[in-house]
Amino acid sequence: MKLLPKSERLDHLGMVASIACAIHCAALPLIITALPLLGLEFLANKWVEIFMICLSLAVGISALASSYPIHKKVLPVVVLISGFILIAAGHFVFKNAEAIIVPLGGFTIAAAHLINWNYNRVCKHGPGYHH
């Protein structure tokens, strides 16, 4: 099995974490009453959401910091920042639309990782990026 470069592994982890966060935020309002019956009441805890956001932030910064010097494209950074702005706006500004805006932010963060991953795949001049 071929070992992926660090930034590719981080982008994969970032996509999974961001999509999981978006699904969590979108589905939670719909299934919150069923969580105790399923033994999943911890998912409604605010700290789970804070942990998921922090994990996405740490992975996003790490992935982009390790790959930006190679591809030198600013688009993934802009998209990542936009995703976190959407999450913050959903939590603090547009609370009535939180169930829509926050998942959109999560999917935007996943898109930043996908864009970054694609740039890394086509970049042929960095260490570990020989195709």
pLDDT (0 to 100) of residue 45: 64
List pLDDT tens digits, range 12-49. 777 777 777 676 666 656 565 655 655 665 655 677 77
pLDDT (0 to 100) of residue 131: 44
- Range list of H helices, 32-97: 35-38, 46-71, 75-92
List pLDDT tens digits, range 67-103. 888 888 999 999 999 999 999 999 889 989 888 898 8
Q: Where are the domains of the chain?
A: 6-122
d(CA 58, CA 16): 13
d(CA 38, CA 35): 5
pTM greater than the 0.85 cutoff: no
pLDDT over threshold 50, residue 3: no
pLDDT (0 to 100) of residue 52: 78
Q: Residue 24 is which amino acid?
A: H
pLDDT (0 to 100) of residue 82: 96
